[in-house]
Amino acid sequence: MFIANNACSVPSSFRLTGIPGLESLHMWLSIPFGSMYLVALVGNVTILAVVKMEHSLHQPMYFFLCMLAVIDLVLSTSTMPKLLAIFWFGAQSISLDACLAQMFFIHCFATVESGIFLVMAFDRYVAICDPLHHTSVLTHAVVGHLGLAALLRGVLYIGPLPLLIRLRLPLYRTQVIAHSYCEHMAVVTLACGDTKVNNLYGMGIGFLVLILDSLAITASYVMIFRAVLGLTTQDARLKTLGTCASHICAILVFYIPIAVSSLTHRFGHQVPPHIHILLANFYLLIPPILNPVVYAVRTKQIREKLLHILKAGAHRGDCPTSMQHINI
């Protein structure tokens, strides 16, 4: 390791602290975090399996839901295995390249998820405001292209973040990152030298993704609600709004934790560090947990198919006993 100016160094690796201030509780914290991660894995894999098995669900809304499930799996898996390794084995070391890769996946797929919510709002707008052309506008090819566009936007927006750190910030005051994963600002604040470009770029991306996406989604739903109010009967209005309820819940589940975490990080200087870190972890865990629950509960087709699969599995489990009884 090369030492410069008696203070800064060129690190080959960093050390993640986990949840600073709660080190003595790491083993206990692993129980809720491990359980939530398991629930997120099972829930999102179940959504993918149900949509794949049920041909009637091969529609734009459910294809977007599958994209959301894949993104949630990537987001939670980018952080939770390392966090659990810290809790269980004290494996705090992470190489510089692995740290930058983790940073890229976290911020990239959070950006992609925001983009998917935006195209889902467009899907609901077309389905409600122009239902006769919904199938012709949102063909399978268009759905695939929209998903690819959301992915490419995430890569283009976030790709420069680790590159800017690698090229502009070679020296660091310490190797200890007071966080449970390699979040952009947590790494940049440790760097020696001018971090203005990194800070401005990070804030610009946050504005483009969170503010502009949320404004575009809000505009879509304003037009949707105007169309719904124009329907003649109360039952028709309620039924139409019901088709949007799952999407609205998923949007709130995604944006509210991110907004709370970001505001607490930037302005909550009196908030203890472990609260910052817990909020940052929750915003990566809560959407992957709640999205499958929201859609399984609110979407009749998914709920009915899931119940059918569970009943079929239970029936097959009873068959050997019945056959044994007949043979006897």
Output the pLDDT for position 266.
Answer: 66
Sign of the torsion angle spanned by Cα atoms 123, 128, 130, 136: positive
Could you state, in order of their start, the residue ranges of all structural domains in the chain?
13-302
Name the fold adopted by 13-302. Rhopdopsin 7-helix transmembrane proteins (1.20.1070)
- pLDDT at residue 322 greater than cutoff 60: no
Give the CA distances from residue 59 to residues 84, 120, 134, in Å, rounded to whole numbers and listed in that order.
Answer: 37, 12, 10
Give pTM, 2 decimals.
Answer: 0.89
156, burial (CB in 10 Å: exposed 0-12, middle 13-18, buried 19+): exposed
The 10 Å CB-count burial string (b at 16+, else e) for 19-50 is bbebeeebeebbeebeebbebbbebbebbbeb
User: For 278-313, how does the pLDDT look when each residue is reduced to its tens digit (9 = 90+)?
Assistant: 888 888 899 999 888 887 777 777 877 778 777 776
Q: What is the pLDDT of residues 43-53, one digit of tens each?
A: 999 999 989 98
Predicted confidence band at 319 (pLDDT cuts at 50, 70, 90)? low
pLDDT band at residue 159 under the 50/70/90 scheme: very high
| Contact predicate 181/82, CB 8 Å | yes
DSSP state of 212: I
> In this predicted structure, what is the pLDDT of residue 324?
43
